[in-house]
Structure 1
Amino acid sequence: MLIILDRDGVINEYDGNYICSADEWHPIPGSVEAVARLCNAGHRIAIATNQSGIGRGYYDTDALDAMHEKLERLVEAEGGCIDFIAYCPHHPDDQCRCRKPLTGLLEQIRQHFRLTSLEGAIMVGDSRKDLEAGHAEGCHPVLVRTGNGEETERHLDARPIPGADVSIYDNLSKFTDALLSAEGW
């Protein structure tokens, strides 16, 4: 199964401030191990992440590459791998097609894996934008309560995503436990 993960607030700590360097990038406890466990169970792992800090001039693609290299090294040290990383470098005002909740990043992932659709894939995120993008492409949306997840959950209670059956877990590790034990899947 293909599992698509948002990055900030799902894999790494995120408090609303831009993460501008590998030194500022810190994994959420258990998240790196969760990615490795998913990979070791035979799942393909992709990341879809909005990185408007590039478009805003806060950091450049070299800094982003260093963050992703750190992530990949940590996952590999646990015996896992990340198959593909898609990111949107644009400023929100740029009107690109790749910034979530639009589906351009997911289309890049679909093309990378040479899939005709993302039906049956899972999109794990901490924001409504993640869930909407995944749902629009046929993914099962999963919300984690890390990062912006608790706030997103409150908003979803008041304004659900039409037609979406959103699963909710405390963090990526708890989602991984449930998926690998087939609880609810």
Structure 2
Amino acid sequence: MKPYTAYKCIVLDRDGVINEDSDDYIKSVAEWIPVPNAIAAIATIKQHGHLVCVATNQSGIGRGYYTLTELHAMHAKLNTLLAEQGAALDGIYLCPHHPDDGCNCRKPNTGMLEQIAADHGLQPGEMLFLGDSQSDYDCAQRFGCDFVLVLTGKGQRTAAKLPADVAQVKDLPTFAELS
């Protein structure tokens, strides 16, 4: 893998990377709690000149656990916290579908990464995907971009399932120091 500074776009999974994850889903603004120092880390990554986009499966919508309106409120909280740090995301890409819907956007399918690339004029080799799950890794592999496993969220459990040579970082703030 090339140095992190060589990538034009850093793509982040949301739950478990930016905010705390829950096996019961993050269903409300009150449940959306940033991982410690993750917001400042995104601001640092932006200061280093990278585009930063989020690619997130949100099947809780398709399952009826929360609404698209509630999801937008969570993202408004994220955007407000970033603005307080003088930063902004370059896009939030989401899949609201139920896993049985057969869509192309639900990770490990590549629809969200394809859309990020199209929207920002990027090639897969210019993108680096940071995630904490097997589906994040598989998505990056299918799309042809590099991947870093973040050990927050489901990252510790996922590490044992991935090849030993997959790059890992403790958390998003640790990555930001390297980017």
Give the TM-score band, short-chain normalised.
over 0.9
Task: Report the Cα distance in structure 2 between the residues aligned to 1:153 and 1:114, rounded to whole angstroms.
Answer: 31
Q: Where in structure 1 do 4 or more consecutive aligned residues deviate above 4 Å?
A: none
Q: Are residue 137 (structure 1) and residue 143 (structure 2) matched?
A: yes
**Tell me, which stretches of 5 or more residues in structure 2 are unaligned?**
1-7
Q: 1:170 — aligned with what?
A: 170
Q: 2:133 — aligned with what?
A: 127
Query: Between Structure 1 and Structure 2, how many residues are aligned?
Result: 172
Give the conservation status (yes or no) of the 8 Å contact 1:40–1:79. Answer: no
**Tell me, which stretches of 5 or more residues in structure 1 are unaligned?**
180-185
Task: Report the Cα distance in structure 2 between the residues aligned to 1:16 and 1:31, rounded to whole angstroms.
Answer: 20
1:45-81 Cα offsets, whole Å, 9 max, x none, are 0000000000000111100100011001101111111
> What is the Cα deviation at residue 15 of structure 1?
2.7
Q: TM-score, normalised by structure 1?
A: 0.89
Q: Which amino acid aligns with 2:169?
A: Y
1:97-134 Cα offsets, whole Å, 9 max, x none, are 1100010111111111133x221211000001111111
Q: How does 1:103-122 map to 2 (within 5 A)?
A: 103-115=110-122, 117-122=123-128
- Which structure has more relative contact order (CA 8 Å, sep 6+)? It is 2
Q: Which amino acid aligns with 2:11?
A: I
Task: Report the Cα distance in structure 2 between the residues aligned to 1:78 and 1:96, rounded to whole angstroms.
Answer: 35
Taking only aligned residues, the RMSD between alpha carbons, in angstroms, comes to 1.2
Task: Report the Cα distance in structure 1 between the residues aligned to 2:75 and 2:15, rounded to whole angstroms.
Answer: 12
Q: 1:149 — aligned with what?
A: 155
Q: TM-score, normalised by structure 2?
A: 0.92
Q: Are residue 75 (structure 1) and residue 82 (structure 2) matched?
A: yes
Q: 2:36 — aligned with what?
A: 29
Q: Which amino acid aligns with 2:173?
A: S
Of 39, 63, 66, 1:59 maps to 66
